[in-house]
């Protein structure tokens, strides 16, 4: 397994794009950690009405592009 220093977490990307706040990301993450939801963080953020499906898809596309560029 390669260490990917440029690999940004979804929450970091959403914050960078001004789509979600760090407080919103933390709230969704805590929901996961407490076992209140077994869903991925993006789906939790949508359920909480902090991001839209389009916002999430945009951030995931950017995350994928960043990950792909690490291996080029």
Residue-wise pLDDT tens digits, 2-39: 444 456 889 999 999 999 999 999 999 999 999 988 89
Q: Is position 48 within any domain?
A: yes
Q: Is position 22 within any domain?
A: yes
What distance in Å separates the CA atoms of residue 50 and residue 28, rounded to the nearest whole number?
Answer: 9
> pTM of the entire structure?
0.79
Contacts of 11 (CB under 8 A, 6+ apart): 20, 22, 25, 28, 29, 41
Q: Is position 65 within any domain?
A: yes
Q: Is position 2 within any domain?
A: no
Least confident of 12-21, 36-45, 59-68: 59-68
Torsion of CA 28, 34, 37, 42, to 10 degrees: 20
Q: Which domain holds residue 59?
A: 10-70
Whole-number pLDDT of residue 49: 97
Q: Is position 4 within any domain?
A: no
Whole-number pLDDT of residue 69: 63
Which residue from 22, 14, 23, 26 is spatially nearest to 52, judged by alpha carbons? 14
Instruction: Say how many domains are in the chain.
Output: 1
């Amino acid at each position: 397994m390669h260490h990917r220093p440029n690999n940004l977490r979804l929450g970091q990307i959403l914050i960078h794009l001004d789509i979600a706040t760090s407080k919103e990301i933390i709230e969704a993450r805590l929901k996961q950690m407490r076992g209140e939801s077994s869903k991925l963080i993006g789906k939790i953020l949508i359920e909480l009405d902090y991001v839209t499906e389009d916002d999430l898809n945009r951030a995931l596309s950017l995350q994928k592009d960043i990950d792909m560029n690490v291996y080029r």
